[in-house]
């Protein structure tokens, strides 16, 4: 992975160096607020190998008897898995593994109705992921899917098709799993949801889907090796966090994550949660947005080019696409595309990216270019770890606790009052 800051005016960056290194030290030495949620830093080299092998064993069982695994979860229990699954599955067909479908990540009755209808003709298993078991969205979904599994397979067989990822010792879901005899995996106490894809939260469903979790973990290990170096010059995660904060203090308070490969769409969705929940506190924080180009150049491109000058972009580039196609010459050339004959489509896409960067720089939009080698388990694992270190350093530089999310409780309070929940 390589990051290029050439298209950012770095005048004044030296004044952020000490602050970023202090924030990095706070993160790595676990001396700041939220330090009890920093288990993700060393988890790539400190996995529970007994549970890791159980994950692989359970995955083979699910692949053998199920066309579909329904993954029930919301927020960090959903987005990390979805990001990697979507990137690795292929656009129109899955070449190996069991299909993942998702539930409990919203409250649409129509979605859940259609999901239950879809499952009538499928062999399926369920992986419900919740620390407590009482989070509204996944709890509702699990109630319906548990009932369907028991009706379709009988209570005894359903028990063998329901897998629970929850607290190690306590909570409603843990109690239910113990009572019913479901196989359980652990939501770690020391890793917050948006960082949890490196745990059973993400590893179990991804393994079921055919993702090589050994290589995925190796990517996190590579990230840990590169981005825990205490050096402003050698650690791009520290430098990136410093540049983000410099741009923020200079009025660039919106960061746009840009990709030119649709496979990365849900990497952007995971990234938005990571940065929004980590930094958006105490009236502070960069607002994270994402665009999928070239598609969004025909919708949001105008705003980015000529709108309010309070944004900067981080562009994700894939160096080596997995597949490609070559444009052929056409004898009639009615579309005027013969000048591209012999060119691969990835070449055209790359020139669109380069041209857009140049245009946006002219429009006073700083651009950071982040290049990954390919869309593979290792590359994506390293990318996720990089962003996790960045958000920890950046959050501490802002003066907030990057590892809590107190603001999400207010909507729940208001919703429960309107629904008439006892105690509200």
Q: Which residues are catalytic, by number?
A: 277, 412
- 375 by DSSP, 3-state: which? coil
Beta carbons within 10 angstroms of residue 30's beta carbon:
15
Q: How far apart are CA 415 and CA 135, in angstroms?
A: 13
Q: Exposed e or buried b for every residue in 171-194, given b needs 16+ CB within 10 A?
A: bebbebbeeeebbbbbbbebbbbb
Q: Which residues make Cβ contacts (< 8 Å) with residue 393, sequence separation at least 6?
A: 20, 23, 24, 27, 237, 238, 241, 242
Q: Which residues make Cβ contacts (< 8 Å) with residue 170, sequence separation at least 6?
A: none
Q: 86, 370, 377, 374: which is closest to 221 by C-alpha?
A: 377
Q: Which residues make Cβ contacts (< 8 Å) with residue 331, sequence separation at least 6?
A: none
The answer to whether 142 and 177 are in contact (CB under 8 A) is: no
- The token duo for 225 is 């090796």
Q: How far apart are CA 213 and CA 415, in angstroms?
A: 38
Q: How far apart are CA 395 and CA 231, in angstroms?
A: 18
- The token duo for 6 is 């050439």
Q: How far apart are CA 224 and CA 236, in angstroms?
A: 12
Q: Which residues make Cβ contacts (< 8 Å) with residue 365, sequence separation at least 6?
A: 304, 305, 309, 311, 312, 313
Q: How far apart are CA 74 and CA 137, in angstroms?
A: 7
């Amino acid at each position: 992975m390589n990051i290029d800051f050439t298209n950012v005016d770095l005048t004044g960056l030296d004044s952020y160096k000490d602050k970023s290194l202090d924030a990095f030290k706070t993160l790595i030495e676990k001396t700041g607020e939220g330090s009890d949620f920093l288990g993700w830093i060393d988890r790539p080299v400190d996995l529970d190998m007994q549970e890791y092998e159980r994950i692989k064993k359970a995955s083979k069982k699910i692949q053998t008897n199920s066309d579909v695994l329904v993954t029930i979860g919301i927020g960090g229990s959903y987005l990390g898995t979805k990001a990697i699954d979507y990137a690795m599955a292929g656009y129109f067909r899955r070449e190996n593994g069991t299909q993942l479908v998702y539930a409990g990540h919203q409250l649409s009755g129509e979605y859940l109705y259609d999901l239950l209808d879809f499952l009538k003709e499928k062999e399926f298993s369920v992986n419900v992921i919740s620390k407590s078991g009482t989070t509204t969205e996944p709890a509702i979904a699990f109630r319906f899917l548990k009932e369907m599994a028991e009706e379709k397979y009988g209570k005894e067989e359903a028990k063998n098709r329901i897998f629970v990822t929850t607290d190690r010792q306590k909570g409603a879901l843990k109690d239910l799993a113990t009572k019913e005899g479901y196989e359980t995996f652990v939501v770690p106490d020391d890793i917050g949801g948006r960082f949890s894809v490196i745990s059973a939260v993400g590893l179990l469903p991804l393994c079921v889907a055919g993702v090589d979790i050994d290589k995925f973990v190796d990517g996190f290990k590579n990230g840990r090796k590169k981005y825990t170096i205490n050096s402003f010059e050698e650690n791009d995660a520290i430098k990136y966090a410093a540049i983000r904060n410099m741009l923020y203090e200079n009025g660039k308070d919106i960061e746009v994550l840009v990709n030119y490969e649709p496979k990365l769409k849900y990497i952007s969705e995971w990234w938005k949660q990571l940065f929004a929940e980590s930094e958006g506190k105490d009236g502070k924080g960069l607002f994270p947005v994402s665009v999928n180009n070239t598609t969004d150049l025909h919708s949001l491109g105008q705003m980015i080019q000529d709108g309010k000058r309070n944004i900067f972009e981080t562009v994700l580039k894939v160096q080596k696409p997995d597949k490609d196609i070559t444009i052929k010459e056409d004898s009639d050339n009615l579309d005027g595309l013969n000048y591209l004959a012999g060119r691969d489509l990835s070449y055209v896409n790359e020139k669109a990216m380069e041209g857009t960067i140049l245009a946006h720089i002219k429009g006073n939009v700083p651009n950071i270019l982040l290049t990954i080698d390919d869309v593979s388990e290792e590359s994506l694992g390293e990318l996720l770890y990089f962003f996790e270190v960045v958000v920890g350093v950046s959050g501490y530089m802002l003066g907030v606790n990057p590892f809590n999310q107190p603001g999400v409780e207010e909507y729940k309070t208001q919703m429960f009052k309107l629904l008439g929940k006892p105690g509200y």
